[in-house]
Structure 1
Amino acid sequence: MTAAPNTTGPLQDAVADAIRTATQGAGRVNILVAGKTGVGKSTLINAVFRGELARTGAGKPVTQTTQEYTRPGHPLTIIDTRGLEVGDYGRSRAELAALIRERAASADQDRHLHVAWLCIQDSVHRVEDAEIELCGMLADAGIPVIAILTKARRNTPFADTARALLPRAKDVVAVRALPEWIDELQAELPPMGLDRLIEVTAQYIPEAQQRAYANALSTRNKQALEVKKKRAEIEVNVAAGLAASAAAAPIPFSDAFALVPIQVGMIAKIGITFGMEISTAALTTLVTSTLGSSAATLAGRSVVSGLLKLIPGAGSAVGGTIAATTAAAITKLLGNAYVTVLYDFCLRHPGQDIDIAFIKRALRERVRL
């Protein structure tokens, strides 16, 4: 009797490769944040992105007037440009121009500056010549500029003035990042404008950086969740297409190894999109907790058969093989269920890290694995 071939080793390698590819393909998004001292740049950054990225003293000096904020496992770099005050502007502008040229010359798109936030305090009701010139310089370099009126009130009349004076800005968004007590009103004004800023910024982030942008956003903001969900659904559709292609020659139901790396990569990419730290170890934990504790389980009948039960007619139609349409349906069902579970968790636990054990239980209840 001939022994069955040992496929566990190759399958484990395929799983590891899928996770590694998801990690390396996450990209990096770089946002330039410019504005005078005291306009609330750090507060704004921490309100939009996860991880309190712009903590005081946490930045790495890049030039005398520029700091870089980043951290391991976080696919976002903030370039904080100071020195827009009149006395420092000349040096700041020259150093920034050199930085833009250096990054734009890189063949690595992850080094480019992808969007710029030009922060102007709403209550000042003035756009300085330096801010107008900086907006033009950034636009000339091909960097989309979003003018942000910080510490703003709703329906601020200054927005129209800013639009007129900054015609090369892609948009002007009025934002209040934190609640603010207003003595004259004897009332506390709630945060505003963050969802719109997240949405507008997403429109100008390159496609290759969209997963990194979605990862970096804090789930405290409702629009951030919508950005994450939209990106995750794209990952599901891509994986379903790959699964259909892999199954163009019917896959034997008993092993179905060709589907495993595709589904593993999909789960890893969705995890990145919803805010998992980008590391091989973290994503391996996520994947194995979701689909099983070993490569054999990942490829076994527990995943495939559990999903087949939810596809009308698949059990009788498969007949021991998985055809292209069934492979795509299995993958899409798993992916959509995973997106729903993560979305619901983030909606109920805004700003919290993903609880992998909770996600595992919720997913298995949903697809009856």
Structure 2
Amino acid sequence: MAEPAIVHEVDRALNEALTRRGRVNILIAGKTGVGKSTLINAVFQGQLATTGQGRPVTKDTREITKEGIPVSIFDTRGLEMQAFAETLQPLEALLRERQHSPSAQEHMHVAWVCLAEDTRRIEDGERHLVDMLAKHVPVIAIITKARADQGFRRIVQAELPAVKNVMRVRALSEELDDGHSLPPMGLLELIDVTMQLVPEAHRNALTAAQKVDINLKRDRAHQAVAAAAAAAAAAGATPIPFADAVVLVPIQIGMLAQITAVFGFPLSTGFLTTLIGSVITGTAATLTGRALVGALLKMVPGAGTAAGMTVSAITASALTTAFGEAYIAALTILYERNKGEPPSDEEIIKAFREQLGKR
């Protein structure tokens, strides 16, 4: 059971973490059979193209979302040349409307235009599409089903000069007739290029939604730890009496919420409260701020836990860093074990306690 002040802080931290993470909006276009759904499922959590909810936003474009995953995919279907104008005109109207929204959460942040490598052909309609999109949003040309370039990437760069980059990807491994296997390729590079084009305010959302780059998640989580450690050090600039050290608690709770959000794992008040309670490991029947600080101080060699002690800036920063890095280590292990898919609450709590025990 948690004291009301802790529950209040958890609610505040959760709402702030989700607000700061926001959402990222990606438009994906290409002809039928080019491999858009396969690419979406390979890059993002939750088998998004298969299990996400589709909402029509134009006759040929639907917005795909899934609860807990901070990305909206705007999938332009049936981009066939014989009916091209019927798709292009409402699509441009949609872009104009969204890009003029006062809320950046409504903007389209990047567009992926997919071209199958095996055709080695760019049609006039695709040129018009890229030129139109580039007026409103950064565009990446993605050569899908990549096997042998044979100069096609250079051709795409030359014939679609408005794109920001041309990426060759293979979303799934492929078995060849001669028994050789081609592994997935280009997905890390695609995320890296996309991150560079997406506005900073939406990069945490992209980091959380994608599942191919663990280092990206870790790097963003380390930033959250560094910010929290700096805040804790500032709070301890004048040594804090132990009885008043609960001022550090909101910093720790906020840090855990930020890390969970940037990893893209489920985040709720119940989960976060239980996660924080796991630190106490049974030392108190009620989760209180003082009990949490006492447990954290045990992680800093020589800090002690005496009621009469004070918490210095160095100690406050050190315990915050140790706490945050233990959590990142736990989530990294689970991320790699689950191949990027979210673990259960129980798995996270167990792994976190194991990492805390090593500190």
- TM-score > 0.5 by shorter chain: yes
Query: For residue 230 of structure 1, what is the amino acid of its counterpart?
Result: D
Q: In the alignment, what sits opposite 2:134?
A: 139
Query: For residue 31 of structure 2, what is the amino acid of its counterpart?
Result: K
Question: How many equivalent residue pairs?
Answer: 356
C-alpha separation between the residues in 2 aligned to 1:261 and 1:191? Answer: 42
C-alpha separation between the residues in 2 aligned to 1:20 and 1:84? Answer: 39
- Residues 71 and 282 of structure 1: is their aligned pair in 2 closer, same or farther, counting only changes over 3 Å? farther
C-alpha separation between the residues in 2 aligned to 1:318 and 1:116? Answer: 57
C-alpha separation between the residues in 1 aligned to 2:328 and 2:187? Answer: 23
Per-residue CA shift, 1:306-349, capped at 9, x if unaligned? Answer: 44344355449997222223212211111111111211221233
Deviation at 1:367, TM superposition (A): 3.0
Per-residue CA shift, 1:216-237, capped at 9, x if unaligned? Answer: 112xx3xx21111111111111
Provide the TM-score with structure 2 as the length reference: 0.89
Q: Is the 8 A contact 1:27 1:75 kept in 2?
A: yes
Q: In the alignment, what sits opposite 1:121?
A: 116
Q: 1:363 aligns with which of 348, 352, 357?
A: 352
Correspondence 1:252 to 2:241: yes
Q: Is the 8 A contact 2:239 2:311 kept in 1?
A: yes
SS of 1:110's partner is helix
Q: 2:330 aligns with which of 321, 341, 361?
A: 341
Matches within 5 A, 1:263-302: 263-289=252-278, 297-301=287-291
Q: In the alignment, what sits opposite 2:125?
A: 130
Deviation at 1:126, TM superposition (A): 1.0
- Residues 19 and 186 of structure 1: is their aligned pair in 2 closer, same or farther, counting only changes over 3 Å? closer
Report the aligned-residue RMSD.
2.7
Correspondence 1:200 to 2:193: yes
Q: Is the 8 A contact 1:40 1:151 kept in 2?
A: yes
Which segment drifts farther, 165-174 or 308-317?
308-317
Deviation at 1:123, TM superposition (A): 0.6
- Residues 211 and 288 of structure 1: is their aligned pair in 2 closer, same or farther, counting only changes over 3 Å? farther
Correspondence 1:213 to 2:203: no
Q: 1:19 aligns with which of 9, 14, 32?
A: 14
C-alpha separation between the residues in 1 aligned to 2:278 and 2:254? Answer: 14
C-alpha separation between the residues in 2 aligned to 1:365 and 1:182? Answer: 43
Which segment drifts farther, 168-177 or 350-359?
350-359
- Residues 12 and 281 of structure 1: is their aligned pair in 2 closer, same or farther, counting only changes over 3 Å? closer
Q: In the alignment, what sits opposite 1:34?
A: 29
Q: Is the 8 A contact 2:24 2:72 kept in 1?
A: yes
- Residues 278 and 308 of structure 1: is their aligned pair in 2 closer, same or farther, counting only changes over 3 Å? closer
Correspondence 1:157 to 2:127: no
Which segment drifts farther, 303-312 or 340-349?
303-312
Deviation at 1:287, TM superposition (A): 4.3
Q: Is the 8 A contact 2:3 2:287 kept in 1?
A: no
C-alpha separation between the residues in 2 aligned to 1:350 and 1:333? Answer: 26
Q: In the alignment, what sits opposite 1:168?
A: 162
Correspondence 1:72 to 2:61: no
Query: For residue 54 of structure 2, what is the amino acid of its counterpart?
Result: G
C-alpha separation between the residues in 2 aligned to 1:201 and 1:156? Answer: 25
SS of 2:56's partner is strand
Per-residue CA shift, 1:120-172, capped at 9, x if unaligned? Answer: 0011101122222222222221x221111011115552111111112221211
Query: For residue 287 of structure 2, what is the amino acid of its counterpart?
Result: T
Query: For residue 290 of structure 2, what is the amino acid of its counterpart?
Result: G
C-alpha separation between the residues in 1 aligned to 2:3 and 2:348? Answer: 26
Q: In the alignment, what sits opposite 1:3?
A: none
Correspondence 1:233 to 2:233: no
C-alpha separation between the residues in 2 aligned to 1:273 and 1:284? Answer: 18
Deviation at 1:37, TM superposition (A): 0.9
Which segment drifts farther, 63-72 or 246-255?
246-255
Query: For residue 239 of structure 1, what is the amino acid of its counterpart?
Result: A
C-alpha separation between the residues in 1 aligned to 2:356 and 2:8? Answer: 26
Matches within 5 A, 1:91-130: 91-130=86-125
Query: For residue 160 of structure 2, what is the amino acid of its counterpart?
Result: L
Q: In the alignment, what sits opposite 1:182?
A: 176
Q: Is the 8 A contact 1:74 1:278 kept in 2?
A: no
Provide the TM-score with structure 1 as the length reference: 0.87
Per-residue CA shift, 1:177-199, capped at 9, x if unaligned? Answer: 1222334x453422221122122
Deviation at 1:282, TM superposition (A): 4.5
C-alpha separation between the residues in 2 aligned to 1:133 and 1:295? Answer: 66
- Residues 94 and 264 of structure 1: is their aligned pair in 2 closer, same or farther, counting only changes over 3 Å? same
C-alpha separation between the residues in 2 aligned to 1:157 and 1:207? Answer: 34
- Residues 298 and 101 of structure 1: is their aligned pair in 2 closer, same or farther, counting only changes over 3 Å? farther
C-alpha separation between the residues in 2 aligned to 1:279 and 1:167? Answer: 45
Q: Which runs of 5+ in 1 are unaligned?
A: 1-6
